[in-house]
Structure 1
Amino acid sequence: MRQFALQGAAVILVLSIAWPYFGWKAEAMPWLQTCLAIGSVALVFATLSRQPWWWRVIHAAFMPLIWLTHSFAIDPGWFLLAFVLLLLVYRGALSGQVPLYLSNKQTVVALAELLAEREAPHFLDLGAGVGSTTVPLADLLPDGHFTGYENAPLTWLLGRILSLGRHNIHWRWEDLWQANLAEYDVVYAFLSPTPMPDLWAKVQAEMQPGSLFVSNSFPVPGATPNRIIEVDCQPPRPLYCYQI
Protein backbone atom coordinates (compact mmCIF):
# COMPACT_ATOMS: atom_id res chain seq x y z
CA MET A 1 0.00 0.00 0.00
CA ARG A 2 2.90 2.34 0.69
CA GLN A 3 4.23 1.84 -2.83
CA PHE A 4 0.78 2.39 -4.36
CA ALA A 5 0.49 5.59 -2.35
CA LEU A 6 3.86 6.89 -3.59
CA GLN A 7 3.05 6.13 -7.21
CA GLY A 8 -0.46 7.55 -6.84
CA ALA A 9 0.87 10.77 -5.33
CA ALA A 10 3.22 11.20 -8.30
CA VAL A 11 0.38 10.64 -10.77
CA ILE A 12 -1.90 13.13 -8.99
CA LEU A 13 0.81 15.79 -8.74
CA VAL A 14 1.86 15.63 -12.40
CA LEU A 15 -1.67 15.37 -13.82
CA SER A 16 -2.94 18.21 -11.61
CA ILE A 17 -0.38 20.43 -13.36
CA ALA A 18 -0.44 18.94 -16.87
CA TRP A 19 -4.19 18.74 -17.41
CA PRO A 20 -4.96 22.42 -16.67
CA TYR A 21 -1.90 23.54 -18.65
CA PHE A 22 -2.66 21.62 -21.84
CA GLY A 23 -6.39 22.13 -21.42
CA TRP A 24 -5.86 25.90 -21.32
CA LYS A 25 -3.71 25.69 -24.46
CA ALA A 26 -6.27 23.37 -26.12
CA GLU A 27 -3.51 20.89 -26.93
CA ALA A 28 -3.47 17.10 -26.67
CA MET A 29 -1.71 15.69 -23.67
CA PRO A 30 1.79 14.44 -24.63
CA TRP A 31 1.49 11.11 -22.83
CA LEU A 32 5.08 9.97 -23.29
CA GLN A 33 6.47 13.12 -21.68
CA THR A 34 3.76 12.98 -19.01
CA CYS A 35 4.64 9.39 -18.10
CA LEU A 36 8.32 10.27 -17.97
CA ALA A 37 7.50 13.15 -15.64
CA ILE A 38 5.42 10.86 -13.42
CA GLY A 39 8.29 8.39 -13.28
CA SER A 40 10.73 11.14 -12.30
CA VAL A 41 8.47 12.46 -9.54
CA ALA A 42 7.82 8.94 -8.27
CA LEU A 43 11.57 8.36 -8.13
CA VAL A 44 11.99 11.52 -6.05
CA PHE A 45 9.18 10.46 -3.68
CA ALA A 46 10.66 6.97 -3.32
CA THR A 47 14.09 8.44 -2.61
CA LEU A 48 12.77 10.92 -0.03
CA SER A 49 10.89 8.12 1.75
CA ARG A 50 14.08 6.01 1.76
CA GLN A 51 12.73 3.07 -0.22
CA PRO A 52 15.18 0.30 -1.22
CA TRP A 53 16.99 0.94 -4.50
CA TRP A 54 14.95 -1.66 -6.39
CA TRP A 55 11.68 0.03 -5.40
CA ARG A 56 13.09 3.31 -6.72
CA VAL A 57 13.81 1.65 -10.07
CA ILE A 58 10.28 0.25 -10.18
CA HIS A 59 8.75 3.64 -9.41
CA ALA A 60 10.84 5.38 -12.06
CA ALA A 61 10.03 2.82 -14.77
CA PHE A 62 6.40 1.99 -13.96
CA MET A 63 4.48 4.69 -15.88
CA PRO A 64 6.91 4.84 -18.85
CA LEU A 65 6.52 1.07 -19.22
CA ILE A 66 2.74 1.45 -19.12
CA TRP A 67 2.98 3.94 -21.98
CA LEU A 68 5.28 1.60 -23.92
CA THR A 69 2.95 -1.35 -23.41
CA HIS A 70 -0.06 0.72 -24.49
CA SER A 71 1.75 1.74 -27.68
CA PHE A 72 1.94 -1.94 -28.71
CA ALA A 73 -1.88 -2.10 -28.85
CA ILE A 74 -1.94 -5.59 -27.32
CA ASP A 75 -5.32 -7.27 -27.10
CA PRO A 76 -6.61 -7.02 -23.49
CA GLY A 77 -7.31 -10.76 -23.45
CA TRP A 78 -3.58 -11.45 -23.24
CA PHE A 79 -3.31 -9.39 -20.07
CA LEU A 80 -6.20 -11.35 -18.56
CA LEU A 81 -4.48 -14.61 -19.48
CA ALA A 82 -1.18 -13.44 -17.97
CA PHE A 83 -2.97 -12.40 -14.78
CA VAL A 84 -4.69 -15.78 -14.44
CA LEU A 85 -1.43 -17.67 -15.01
CA LEU A 86 0.43 -15.55 -12.47
CA LEU A 87 -2.37 -16.05 -9.95
CA LEU A 88 -2.23 -19.82 -10.46
CA VAL A 89 1.51 -19.83 -9.75
CA TYR A 90 1.99 -16.97 -7.27
CA ARG A 91 -1.18 -17.11 -5.21
CA GLY A 92 0.93 -17.27 -2.03
CA ALA A 93 2.55 -13.93 -2.82
CA LEU A 94 -0.88 -12.31 -3.08
CA SER A 95 -2.48 -13.88 -0.01
CA GLY A 96 0.47 -14.13 2.35
CA GLN A 97 3.44 -12.26 0.82
CA VAL A 98 5.13 -15.60 0.20
CA PRO A 99 6.70 -15.79 -3.28
CA LEU A 100 7.61 -19.01 -5.04
CA TYR A 101 11.10 -20.12 -4.02
CA LEU A 102 12.63 -23.34 -5.32
CA SER A 103 15.09 -25.17 -3.07
CA ASN A 104 18.32 -26.13 -4.83
CA LYS A 105 20.11 -29.50 -4.86
CA GLN A 106 22.63 -28.44 -2.22
CA THR A 107 19.81 -27.59 0.17
CA VAL A 108 18.16 -30.96 -0.46
CA VAL A 109 21.43 -32.75 0.34
CA ALA A 110 21.86 -30.75 3.56
CA LEU A 111 18.29 -31.54 4.60
CA ALA A 112 18.76 -35.22 3.79
CA GLU A 113 21.81 -35.35 6.06
CA LEU A 114 19.83 -33.61 8.79
CA LEU A 115 16.88 -36.01 8.44
CA ALA A 116 19.17 -39.03 8.38
CA GLU A 117 19.86 -38.33 12.07
CA ARG A 118 16.23 -39.30 12.78
CA GLU A 119 14.67 -42.71 12.25
CA ALA A 120 11.79 -42.65 9.71
CA PRO A 121 11.20 -38.89 10.05
CA HIS A 122 7.83 -37.28 9.47
CA PHE A 123 8.74 -34.22 7.39
CA LEU A 124 6.46 -31.32 6.46
CA ASP A 125 7.25 -28.76 3.76
CA LEU A 126 5.20 -25.59 4.27
CA GLY A 127 4.67 -23.87 0.94
CA ALA A 128 6.05 -26.82 -1.00
CA GLY A 129 5.86 -25.23 -4.46
CA VAL A 130 6.41 -27.81 -7.18
CA GLY A 131 8.01 -30.30 -4.80
CA SER A 132 11.64 -29.29 -5.40
CA THR A 133 12.39 -30.26 -1.80
CA THR A 134 9.82 -32.92 -0.94
CA VAL A 135 10.20 -35.13 -4.03
CA PRO A 136 14.01 -35.59 -3.99
CA LEU A 137 13.99 -36.06 -0.20
CA ALA A 138 11.41 -38.81 -0.57
CA ASP A 139 13.70 -40.53 -3.08
CA LEU A 140 16.79 -40.18 -0.87
CA LEU A 141 15.01 -41.34 2.30
CA PRO A 142 12.45 -44.02 1.33
CA ASP A 143 11.74 -44.87 4.99
CA GLY A 144 10.67 -41.31 5.76
CA HIS A 145 7.20 -39.81 5.52
CA PHE A 146 6.92 -36.55 3.57
CA THR A 147 4.05 -34.09 3.35
CA GLY A 148 3.84 -30.95 1.21
CA TYR A 149 1.35 -28.10 1.66
CA GLU A 150 0.82 -25.85 -1.35
CA ASN A 151 -2.12 -23.52 -2.11
CA ALA A 152 -1.23 -22.19 -5.60
CA PRO A 153 -3.22 -24.37 -8.04
CA LEU A 154 -0.70 -24.70 -10.86
CA THR A 155 2.35 -25.32 -8.68
CA TRP A 156 0.33 -27.80 -6.60
CA LEU A 157 -0.63 -29.64 -9.79
CA LEU A 158 2.98 -29.81 -10.99
CA GLY A 159 4.09 -31.07 -7.59
CA ARG A 160 1.31 -33.64 -7.56
CA ILE A 161 2.43 -34.95 -10.94
CA LEU A 162 6.08 -35.10 -9.85
CA SER A 163 5.16 -36.97 -6.67
CA LEU A 164 3.18 -39.69 -8.46
CA GLY A 165 4.44 -43.18 -7.74
CA ARG A 166 6.09 -42.16 -4.47
CA HIS A 167 4.08 -43.75 -1.69
CA ASN A 168 5.94 -41.89 1.06
CA ILE A 169 4.67 -38.48 -0.14
CA HIS A 170 1.38 -36.91 0.94
CA TRP A 171 0.72 -33.93 -1.33
CA ARG A 172 -1.95 -31.54 -0.08
CA TRP A 173 -3.63 -28.54 -1.67
CA GLU A 174 -4.15 -26.44 1.44
CA ASP A 175 -3.01 -23.24 3.08
CA LEU A 176 0.04 -23.75 5.26
CA TRP A 177 -1.75 -22.13 8.22
CA GLN A 178 -4.18 -25.06 8.25
CA ALA A 179 -1.42 -27.61 8.88
CA ASN A 180 -1.35 -29.39 12.24
CA LEU A 181 2.34 -29.16 13.07
CA ALA A 182 2.03 -31.57 15.98
CA GLU A 183 1.95 -34.47 13.49
CA TYR A 184 5.54 -33.90 12.30
CA ASP A 185 8.96 -34.09 13.90
CA VAL A 186 10.64 -31.90 11.24
CA VAL A 187 8.92 -28.85 9.72
CA TYR A 188 10.64 -27.00 6.87
CA ALA A 189 9.75 -23.55 5.50
CA PHE A 190 11.20 -21.45 2.70
CA LEU A 191 8.86 -18.47 2.80
CA SER A 192 9.78 -14.80 3.38
CA PRO A 193 10.50 -12.54 6.36
CA THR A 194 6.88 -11.35 6.56
CA PRO A 195 5.14 -14.48 7.93
CA MET A 196 7.99 -15.63 10.18
CA PRO A 197 6.75 -14.10 13.50
CA ASP A 198 3.27 -15.62 13.09
CA LEU A 199 4.69 -18.93 11.90
CA TRP A 200 7.02 -19.09 14.90
CA ALA A 201 4.04 -18.57 17.22
CA LYS A 202 2.28 -21.47 15.46
CA VAL A 203 5.42 -23.61 15.74
CA GLN A 204 5.74 -22.99 19.47
CA ALA A 205 2.05 -23.67 20.05
CA GLU A 206 1.81 -26.91 18.05
CA MET A 207 5.13 -28.69 17.56
CA GLN A 208 6.07 -31.40 20.05
CA PRO A 209 9.15 -31.29 22.31
CA GLY A 210 12.16 -32.75 20.54
CA SER A 211 10.88 -31.80 17.08
CA LEU A 212 12.78 -29.50 14.74
CA PHE A 213 11.77 -26.40 12.81
CA VAL A 214 14.02 -25.48 9.84
CA SER A 215 13.77 -22.15 7.99
CA ASN A 216 15.60 -21.64 4.72
CA SER A 217 17.29 -18.21 4.42
CA PHE A 218 14.98 -16.33 6.79
CA PRO A 219 15.67 -16.51 10.56
CA VAL A 220 12.95 -16.15 13.15
CA PRO A 221 13.05 -12.59 14.54
CA GLY A 222 14.05 -12.57 18.19
CA ALA A 223 14.78 -16.31 18.37
CA THR A 224 18.25 -17.87 18.46
CA PRO A 225 18.68 -20.97 16.27
CA ASN A 226 20.24 -24.01 17.89
CA ARG A 227 22.15 -24.67 14.70
CA ILE A 228 22.87 -22.92 11.43
CA ILE A 229 23.76 -25.04 8.42
CA GLU A 230 25.72 -23.11 5.81
CA VAL A 231 24.67 -24.52 2.44
CA ASP A 232 27.39 -24.40 -0.23
CA CYS A 233 25.49 -22.46 -2.89
CA GLN A 234 25.14 -19.00 -4.41
CA PRO A 235 23.39 -16.91 -3.32
CA PRO A 236 23.91 -18.14 0.27
CA ARG A 237 20.89 -19.94 1.70
CA PRO A 238 21.62 -20.96 5.29
CA LEU A 239 19.28 -23.31 7.12
CA TYR A 240 18.23 -21.99 10.53
CA CYS A 241 17.40 -24.92 12.81
CA TYR A 242 15.28 -24.47 15.94
CA GLN A 243 14.97 -27.40 18.33
CA ILE A 244 11.63 -27.38 20.12
Structure 2
Amino acid sequence: MRRATSRNLCLSLLPAPSPERSDAPAAAVDGPRRQLALQFAAVLAVLSLAWPYYGIRGEALPWPQTAFAIGTAALLLATLSRQPWWWRVVHALFTPLAWGVSLLQIDPAWFLLGFMLLLLVYRGALSGQIPLYFSSRQTVDALAALTRDRHDLRFLDLGAGIGSIVQPLAVARPDARFTGIENAPATWLVGRVRTAATANCAWRWGDLWQADLAAYDVVYAFLSPAPMAALWEKVVREMRPGSLFISNSFAVPGVTVTHQVDVGDRRHSRLFCYRV
Protein backbone atom coordinates (compact mmCIF):
# COMPACT_ATOMS: atom_id res chain seq x y z
CA MET A 1 0.00 0.00 0.00
CA ARG A 2 2.82 2.43 0.86
CA ARG A 3 4.61 1.72 -2.42
CA ALA A 4 1.44 2.34 -4.43
CA THR A 5 0.81 5.62 -2.61
CA SER A 6 4.37 6.82 -3.21
CA ARG A 7 4.13 5.88 -6.88
CA ASN A 8 0.86 7.79 -7.33
CA LEU A 9 2.33 10.86 -5.58
CA CYS A 10 5.42 10.82 -7.83
CA LEU A 11 3.25 10.50 -10.93
CA SER A 12 1.20 13.52 -9.84
CA LEU A 13 4.36 15.65 -9.75
CA LEU A 14 5.36 14.88 -13.33
CA PRO A 15 4.30 17.26 -16.14
CA ALA A 16 0.86 16.26 -17.36
CA PRO A 17 0.66 14.89 -20.93
CA SER A 18 -0.82 17.25 -23.49
CA PRO A 19 -4.37 16.21 -24.37
CA GLU A 20 -5.66 16.42 -27.91
CA ARG A 21 -8.23 18.91 -26.72
CA SER A 22 -7.61 21.12 -23.71
CA ASP A 23 -10.07 21.29 -20.85
CA ALA A 24 -9.36 24.84 -19.70
CA PRO A 25 -11.07 24.80 -16.29
CA ALA A 26 -9.50 21.44 -15.42
CA ALA A 27 -6.08 22.68 -16.54
CA ALA A 28 -6.46 25.79 -14.39
CA VAL A 29 -7.16 23.68 -11.30
CA ASP A 30 -4.41 21.15 -12.10
CA GLY A 31 -1.65 23.77 -11.77
CA PRO A 32 -2.32 24.74 -8.13
CA ARG A 33 -2.91 21.11 -7.20
CA ARG A 34 0.48 20.14 -8.60
CA GLN A 35 2.22 22.90 -6.61
CA LEU A 36 0.45 21.82 -3.40
CA ALA A 37 1.49 18.23 -4.09
CA LEU A 38 5.11 19.35 -4.46
CA GLN A 39 5.07 21.16 -1.11
CA PHE A 40 3.32 18.23 0.58
CA ALA A 41 5.89 15.80 -0.83
CA ALA A 42 8.77 17.97 0.42
CA VAL A 43 7.26 18.24 3.92
CA LEU A 44 6.56 14.49 4.03
CA ALA A 45 10.08 13.60 2.85
CA VAL A 46 11.87 15.82 5.39
CA LEU A 47 9.66 15.09 8.40
CA SER A 48 9.67 11.32 7.76
CA LEU A 49 13.44 11.45 8.26
CA ALA A 50 13.77 14.20 10.86
CA TRP A 51 11.11 13.11 13.36
CA PRO A 52 12.40 9.54 13.86
CA TYR A 53 16.01 10.75 14.04
CA TYR A 54 15.42 13.41 16.69
CA GLY A 55 12.80 11.25 18.46
CA ILE A 56 15.30 8.45 19.00
CA ARG A 57 17.82 10.95 20.32
CA GLY A 58 15.19 12.50 22.61
CA GLU A 59 15.75 15.95 21.16
CA ALA A 60 13.26 18.55 20.00
CA LEU A 61 12.89 19.04 16.28
CA PRO A 62 15.04 22.05 15.21
CA TRP A 63 12.46 24.03 13.24
CA PRO A 64 14.78 26.58 11.58
CA GLN A 65 16.92 23.83 10.01
CA THR A 66 13.82 21.76 9.24
CA ALA A 67 12.13 24.68 7.46
CA PHE A 68 15.16 25.30 5.27
CA ALA A 69 15.48 21.56 4.57
CA ILE A 70 11.84 21.49 3.41
CA GLY A 71 12.49 24.51 1.19
CA THR A 72 15.52 22.78 -0.34
CA ALA A 73 13.56 19.57 -0.94
CA ALA A 74 10.69 21.51 -2.51
CA LEU A 75 13.13 23.34 -4.79
CA LEU A 76 14.66 20.02 -5.86
CA LEU A 77 11.24 18.49 -6.62
CA ALA A 78 10.14 21.61 -8.53
CA THR A 79 13.33 21.47 -10.59
CA LEU A 80 13.01 17.76 -11.33
CA SER A 81 9.36 18.21 -12.40
CA ARG A 82 10.35 21.14 -14.65
CA GLN A 83 8.25 23.83 -13.00
CA PRO A 84 8.69 27.45 -14.21
CA TRP A 85 11.45 29.38 -12.47
CA TRP A 86 9.07 31.53 -10.41
CA TRP A 87 7.42 28.43 -8.94
CA ARG A 88 10.86 27.13 -7.97
CA VAL A 89 11.51 30.35 -6.07
CA VAL A 90 8.13 30.10 -4.35
CA HIS A 91 8.75 26.51 -3.33
CA ALA A 92 12.22 27.30 -2.00
CA LEU A 93 11.06 30.23 0.14
CA PHE A 94 7.56 29.20 1.21
CA THR A 95 8.31 27.08 4.30
CA PRO A 96 11.25 29.19 5.60
CA LEU A 97 9.13 32.32 5.30
CA ALA A 98 6.16 30.61 6.94
CA TRP A 99 8.37 29.60 9.86
CA GLY A 100 9.79 33.14 10.12
CA VAL A 101 6.34 34.73 10.12
CA SER A 102 5.19 32.29 12.82
CA LEU A 103 7.79 33.82 15.15
CA LEU A 104 6.03 37.19 14.92
CA GLN A 105 3.00 35.74 16.75
CA ILE A 106 0.49 37.59 14.59
CA ASP A 107 -3.18 36.85 15.23
CA PRO A 108 -4.32 34.30 12.57
CA ALA A 109 -7.40 36.43 11.91
CA TRP A 110 -5.21 39.00 10.16
CA PHE A 111 -3.97 36.36 7.74
CA LEU A 112 -7.55 35.31 7.01
CA LEU A 113 -8.52 38.93 6.39
CA GLY A 114 -5.51 39.46 4.11
CA PHE A 115 -6.36 36.31 2.14
CA MET A 116 -9.96 37.41 1.68
CA LEU A 117 -8.90 40.86 0.48
CA LEU A 118 -6.42 39.36 -1.98
CA LEU A 119 -9.09 36.96 -3.21
CA LEU A 120 -11.42 39.88 -3.94
CA VAL A 121 -8.80 41.35 -6.29
CA TYR A 122 -6.70 38.42 -7.50
CA ARG A 123 -9.28 35.67 -7.81
CA GLY A 124 -8.11 34.89 -11.36
CA ALA A 125 -4.57 34.17 -10.19
CA LEU A 126 -5.85 31.50 -7.81
CA SER A 127 -8.50 29.90 -10.02
CA GLY A 128 -6.84 30.15 -13.43
CA GLN A 129 -3.22 31.32 -13.10
CA ILE A 130 -4.29 34.70 -14.47
CA PRO A 131 -2.90 37.64 -12.47
CA LEU A 132 -4.29 41.16 -12.57
CA TYR A 133 -2.65 43.37 -15.20
CA PHE A 134 -3.59 46.97 -15.99
CA SER A 135 -3.46 47.93 -19.66
CA SER A 136 -1.77 51.25 -20.42
CA ARG A 137 -3.23 54.26 -22.20
CA GLN A 138 -0.87 53.52 -25.09
CA THR A 139 -2.52 50.10 -25.39
CA VAL A 140 -5.91 51.78 -25.66
CA ASP A 141 -4.58 53.97 -28.48
CA ALA A 142 -3.09 50.96 -30.27
CA LEU A 143 -6.37 49.02 -30.03
CA ALA A 144 -8.29 52.06 -31.29
CA ALA A 145 -6.00 52.18 -34.35
CA LEU A 146 -6.34 48.43 -34.97
CA THR A 147 -10.15 48.56 -34.89
CA ARG A 148 -10.68 51.96 -36.54
CA ASP A 149 -11.77 50.51 -39.89
CA ARG A 150 -14.22 48.01 -38.44
CA HIS A 151 -17.78 49.29 -38.74
CA ASP A 152 -20.48 48.00 -36.37
CA LEU A 153 -17.66 46.84 -34.12
CA ARG A 154 -18.43 44.33 -31.35
CA PHE A 155 -15.45 44.22 -28.98
CA LEU A 156 -14.96 41.86 -26.02
CA ASP A 157 -12.32 42.13 -23.27
CA LEU A 158 -11.74 38.81 -21.49
CA GLY A 159 -10.62 39.42 -17.92
CA ALA A 160 -11.37 43.11 -18.16
CA GLY A 161 -10.00 44.14 -14.75
CA ILE A 162 -11.30 47.60 -13.86
CA GLY A 163 -12.37 48.49 -17.40
CA SER A 164 -9.16 50.28 -18.38
CA ILE A 165 -9.62 49.12 -21.98
CA VAL A 166 -13.34 49.00 -22.73
CA GLN A 167 -14.33 52.22 -20.99
CA PRO A 168 -12.05 54.64 -22.89
CA LEU A 169 -12.60 52.76 -26.16
CA ALA A 170 -16.37 52.98 -25.68
CA VAL A 171 -16.13 56.74 -25.11
CA ALA A 172 -14.01 57.15 -28.25
CA ARG A 173 -16.27 54.92 -30.39
CA PRO A 174 -19.93 55.63 -29.57
CA ASP A 175 -20.90 53.81 -32.78
CA ALA A 176 -19.46 50.49 -31.51
CA ARG A 177 -20.39 48.07 -28.74
CA PHE A 178 -17.91 47.05 -26.04
CA THR A 179 -18.19 44.30 -23.43
CA GLY A 180 -15.96 43.50 -20.49
CA ILE A 181 -16.03 40.26 -18.50
CA GLU A 182 -14.45 40.05 -15.04
CA ASN A 183 -14.78 37.57 -12.15
CA ALA A 184 -12.80 39.17 -9.29
CA PRO A 185 -15.34 40.90 -7.02
CA ALA A 186 -13.36 44.06 -6.16
CA THR A 187 -12.13 44.80 -9.68
CA TRP A 188 -15.56 43.96 -11.12
CA LEU A 189 -17.14 46.51 -8.79
CA VAL A 190 -14.65 49.22 -9.79
CA GLY A 191 -15.26 48.47 -13.45
CA ARG A 192 -19.04 48.49 -12.94
CA VAL A 193 -18.91 51.98 -11.42
CA ARG A 194 -16.47 53.16 -14.07
CA THR A 195 -18.59 52.00 -17.02
CA ALA A 196 -22.04 52.77 -15.55
CA ALA A 197 -22.43 56.03 -17.49
CA THR A 198 -21.17 54.61 -20.80
CA ALA A 199 -24.22 53.50 -22.75
CA ASN A 200 -22.36 51.40 -25.34
CA CYS A 201 -20.31 49.46 -22.77
CA ALA A 202 -21.70 46.28 -21.18
CA TRP A 203 -19.98 45.21 -17.95
CA ARG A 204 -20.49 41.59 -16.97
CA TRP A 205 -19.64 39.33 -14.08
CA GLY A 206 -18.61 35.89 -15.28
CA ASP A 207 -16.08 33.26 -16.25
CA LEU A 208 -14.23 33.99 -19.49
CA TRP A 209 -14.37 30.29 -20.38
CA GLN A 210 -18.18 30.46 -20.42
CA ALA A 211 -18.32 33.52 -22.69
CA ASP A 212 -19.70 33.00 -26.19
CA LEU A 213 -17.17 34.57 -28.58
CA ALA A 214 -19.29 34.16 -31.70
CA ALA A 215 -21.03 37.52 -31.26
CA TYR A 216 -17.82 39.59 -31.37
CA ASP A 217 -15.62 40.92 -34.18
CA VAL A 218 -12.62 41.56 -31.92
CA VAL A 219 -11.68 39.71 -28.74
CA TYR A 220 -8.90 41.11 -26.54
CA ALA A 221 -7.12 39.34 -23.68
CA PHE A 222 -4.31 40.28 -21.30
CA LEU A 223 -3.93 37.09 -19.27
CA SER A 224 -0.77 34.96 -18.80
CA PRO A 225 1.08 32.24 -20.71
CA ALA A 226 -0.81 29.47 -18.86
CA PRO A 227 -4.26 29.67 -20.55
CA MET A 228 -3.22 30.77 -24.05
CA ALA A 229 -3.28 27.37 -25.80
CA ALA A 230 -6.71 26.50 -24.41
CA LEU A 231 -8.03 29.98 -25.14
CA TRP A 232 -6.89 29.73 -28.77
CA GLU A 233 -8.87 26.50 -29.14
CA LYS A 234 -11.93 28.36 -27.88
CA VAL A 235 -11.25 31.26 -30.27
CA VAL A 236 -10.97 28.97 -33.30
CA ARG A 237 -14.05 27.02 -32.25
CA GLU A 238 -16.33 30.01 -31.62
CA MET A 239 -15.20 33.17 -33.43
CA ARG A 240 -16.41 33.88 -36.96
CA PRO A 241 -14.07 33.84 -39.99
CA GLY A 242 -12.47 37.25 -40.49
CA SER A 243 -12.72 38.22 -36.82
CA LEU A 244 -9.66 39.27 -34.83
CA PHE A 245 -8.15 37.92 -31.62
CA ILE A 246 -5.62 40.16 -29.85
CA SER A 247 -3.42 39.04 -26.97
CA ASN A 248 -1.42 41.56 -24.97
CA SER A 249 2.17 40.40 -24.23
CA PHE A 250 1.51 36.64 -24.42
CA ALA A 251 1.64 34.90 -27.79
CA VAL A 252 -0.35 31.76 -28.57
CA PRO A 253 2.16 28.88 -28.52
CA GLY A 254 2.69 27.17 -31.85
CA VAL A 255 0.46 29.57 -33.82
CA THR A 256 1.83 32.02 -36.39
CA VAL A 257 0.87 35.58 -35.55
CA THR A 258 -0.89 37.54 -38.30
CA HIS A 259 0.84 40.75 -37.22
CA GLN A 260 2.08 42.36 -34.04
CA VAL A 261 2.15 45.87 -32.69
CA ASP A 262 4.74 47.35 -30.33
CA VAL A 263 2.71 49.56 -28.02
CA GLY A 264 5.62 51.71 -26.84
CA ASP A 265 4.67 51.98 -23.17
CA ARG A 266 7.02 51.63 -20.19
CA ARG A 267 6.25 47.91 -19.96
CA HIS A 268 7.24 47.42 -23.62
CA SER A 269 3.88 45.80 -24.28
CA ARG A 270 3.32 44.00 -27.57
CA LEU A 271 -0.02 43.10 -29.12
CA PHE A 272 -0.14 39.75 -30.89
CA CYS A 273 -2.93 39.81 -33.47
CA TYR A 274 -4.47 36.66 -34.97
CA ARG A 275 -7.03 36.77 -37.76
CA VAL A 276 -9.42 33.85 -37.49
Where does residue 139 of structure 1 map in the other structure? 171
Where does residue 223 of structure 1 map in the other structure? 255
Q: CA deviation at 1:158?
A: 0.9
The one-letter code matched in structure 1 to 2:107 is D
Aligned partner of residue 124 in structure 1, secondary structure: strand
Where does residue 5 of structure 2 map in the other structure? none
C-alpha distance 58-26 of structure 1, shift in aligned 2 (>3 A): same
Tell me, in whole angstroms, the C-alpha distance in 1 between the residues paired with 2:225 and 2:89.
22
Instruction: Determine which of 159, 179, 198 is the counterpart of 2:211.
Output: 179
Where does residue 119 of structure 2 map in the other structure? 87
Percent identical pairs in the alignment equals: 61
Where does residue 150 of structure 1 map in the other structure? 182
**1:122-168 deviations in Å (ceiling 9; x for gaps):** 11101111111111212222322110011111111111011121111
1:54 is the counterpart of 2:54: no
Q: CA deviation at 1:49?
A: 4.2
Where does residue 166 of structure 1 map in the other structure? 198
**1:51-101 deviations in Å (ceiling 9; x for gaps):** 443333222211111111111111111121122222222222233222212
Aligned partner of residue 63 in structure 1, secondary structure: helix
Aligned partner of residue 241 in structure 1, secondary structure: strand
Which structure 2 residue ranges, 5 or more long, are not aligned? 1-32
Aligned partner of residue 39 in structure 2, secondary structure: helix
Q: Which runs of 4+ in 1 moved over 6 A?
A: none
Instruction: Determine which of 225, 237, 241 is the counterpart of 2:269.
Output: 237
C-alpha distance 55-230 of structure 1, shift in aligned 2 (>3 A): same
Tell me, in whole angstroms, the C-alpha distance in 2 between the residues paired with 1:222 and 1:36.
39
C-alpha distance 69-162 of structure 1, shift in aligned 2 (>3 A): same
Aligned partner of residue 66 in structure 2, secondary structure: helix
Aligned partner of residue 88 in structure 1, secondary structure: helix
Q: Counterparts of 1:1-244 in structure 2 under 5 Å?
A: 1-244=33-276
Q: CA deviation at 1:27?
A: 2.3
Tell me, in whole angstroms, the C-alpha distance in 1 between the residues paired with 2:77 and 2:183.
36
* TM-score, normalised by the number of residues in structure 1: 0.91
Aligned Cα root-mean-square deviation (Å): 1.9
